[in-house]
Structure 1
Amino acid sequence: MSVKERDPLTGHQTTGHEWNGITELNTRVPRSIWFFIIITHIWALIAWILLPTWPLVTTYTKGILGLDQREEVAEKVIAANVARADWADRITAAPVSEILNDPELLARANETAHQIFGDNCAGCHGLDAGGGPGFPSLIDDAWLWGGDPDTIMETLRVGINATHPETRYAQMLAFGRDGILEREEIRIVVDYIQSLSGAEISPDRGAVGAEIYADTCSSCHGETGVGDTEMGAPNLTDAFWIYGGDDKAMFDTIWNGRQGWMPAWEGRLTETERKILTVYLTDLRQAAAQ
């Protein structure tokens, strides 16, 4: 009978395997590990018996406790709807101005709107509704179609350049890419547009820029550059720029054109939810203006 080799330092038997002078010890699995394995297997067996566990062909094992998380969620949703029915009905019936002047109702609306906004709007407009490059701020006064409550409600309903049959349409031509203006003409009109909000420009360059602007831009943005809310054309005389008001950003905008997009929320959000969002955004704007 062969005698297995033992490690002289620990006294443990070896497996007989050796790598570069390192001998593998044949140590036992610690009892704590066996204990853990046994306990987890017992718990798994209990869970299989008590809880919904195994998928079958068209159903699954229900478990002797009869738990169903989908039913639990449905019950919680029904309970939540019942709890909010009173104030939700008041919001549905009341005009936005009345809700804004009712502290209790406004608090209810804002509490709900914060979640609705976070789930549906914050991905583009930011958690603070301050917007970002390519996405407009919702807390300033530069609203393309107007920022009054009725207009906000309609924009939420139909979207912008969306698939809704009544969606709002807005598109700026690609004046450079499509060969309408040359590069130097775009640079000149950029300087002219910046001069509308106070930037300095030489008289000669300003005269050329004014002519280019009148021929290519004024039909949408107006003769003085104040924009047209009926068309969703932005004001070019203020400090609010969706895509940036520096030389490069404006050149890119005029060269490539712009066509923003917002989904239509009719069918995704109820009329009451859209109204709650309108109240929330109006309240944010009022707070930001203070």
Structure 2
Amino acid sequence: MADNSNKSANHQKGDPNTTGHSWDGIEEFDNPMPRWWVWIFILCVIWSVGYWVVYPAWPGMNQATSGVLGYASRAEVAEEIAAFEERHDVLFAQILETEPGELQNDQDLHRFAVNAGASVFAAQCSQCHGAGGAGVQAGGFPNLLDDDWLWGGSHDEIVQTVTYGIRNEEYLDARYSQMPAFGRDELLSEEEMRQATHFVLSLSGSDHEAELASAGAEVYDYNCSSCHGVEGEGDTFLGAPALNDQIWLYGGSEEIVYESIYNARFGVMPGFDNRLREAEIRAVAAYVHQLGGGE
């Protein structure tokens, strides 16, 4: 006798058994899985077991199982990096053999140096000078896009600055200068500092009080001109900024100029001699030089 336990009243002759479930009167036939699907499933199970044996698969406490082939994706990446660096080492060697100022004469080598320097700049310099090199005035981080350089903007001078930095205690060859704190150390009176402030503002054509600026000319001549120049042209040998333009490292308002005179400025830049290879320093110097302000 046929088994009718899973057959409903609507079941017709020749229909397969149902699953026994009913949803709002709708019943589902209990059809077997297609044979092709079953075989694919079995093959997938067999393939996955083989994969577990051949390749790293099961995680352990310290590392995954290595598999009988000993394959490791990290080793493959390391090999690709090594091959990449080997190809680039040839070009870095050419950079070292070329004087920084002569890089532009070799278009392909200069292009490589700029691209490599951009990567170095993004990793090592952008935190202070900004991703595009525009600097951060509030922190006294110089804009590298203009042609106003404290210590000179030639290839060689940029290499020197990047290599040893500015006013740090790590390198004896770091660029160094010290501006007197005319107010903090009581070298000038309050009135003299106000006069000097307005004279400095007058040098760049900024808003100022003419009477105070006129009196400040003598204060400037006695106390400031030896570093900043008689006409405020600055001195890259001393790292003294030009005062006769409107490019300001910390800002050019009356309050900020007065603060600079009162407390002085003492920006510090680290040297990268022990952080970067010489070829990388030359590459980042090439990148900075071509940003638009290189001399």
* TM score, norm. by length of structure 1: 0.74
CA distance in 2, matches of 1:106, 1:140: 21
Structure 1 segments (4+ residues) deviating >6 Å: none
CA distance in 2, matches of 1:52, 1:98: 55
Contact kept in structure 1, 2:194 and 2:212, CA below 8 Å: no
Q: CA deviation at 1:276?
A: 0.7
Q: CA deviation at 1:200?
A: 6.0
Contact kept in structure 1, 2:192 and 2:219, CA below 8 Å: yes
Contact kept in structure 1, 2:165 and 2:272, CA below 8 Å: yes
**Number of aligned residue pairs:** 241
CA distance in 2, matches of 1:278, 1:129: 12
Which of 101, 117, 120 lines up with 2:121 in the alignment?
117
**After the TM superposition, which of the residue ranges 197-206 and 220-229 deviates more from structure 2?**
197-206
Give the corresponding residue for 2:231: 224
Contact kept in structure 1, 2:91 and 2:109, CA below 8 Å: yes
Which of 237, 244, 252 lines up with 1:245 in the alignment?
252
Return closer, same or farther for 1:193/1:98 CA change in 2, 3 Å cut-off: same
CA distance in 1, matches of 2:257, 2:107: 43
1:251-277 deviation per Cα after TM superposition (whole angstroms, max 9, x unaligned): 222222111111101011111111111
Q: How does 1:259-274 map to 2 (within 5 A)?
A: 259-274=266-281
Give the corresponding residue for 1:138: 144
Return closer, same or farther for 1:203/1:126 CA change in 2, 3 Å cut-off: closer
Contact kept in structure 1, 2:181 and 2:264, CA below 8 Å: yes
CA distance in 2, matches of 1:227, 1:50: 65
CA distance in 2, matches of 1:198, 1:255: 21
SS in 2 for 1:255: helix
* TM score, norm. by length of structure 2: 0.73
CA distance in 2, matches of 1:148, 1:285: 12
CA distance in 2, matches of 1:124, 1:156: 13
Q: How does 1:52-131 map to 2 (within 5 A)?
A: 53-55=59-61, 62-64=65-67, 66=70, 68=72, 71-131=75-135
Aligned CA RMSD, in angstroms, stands at: 2.7
**After the TM superposition, which of the residue ranges 174-183 and 75-84 deviates more from structure 2?**
174-183
Q: CA deviation at 1:222?
A: 2.2
1:65-107 deviation per Cα after TM superposition (whole angstroms, max 9, x unaligned): 6455654443233111112133222222123343223332222
Give the corresponding residue for 2:175: 168
Gaps of 5+ in 1: 1-41
Identity level (%): 37
Contact kept in structure 1, 2:232 and 2:244, CA below 8 Å: yes
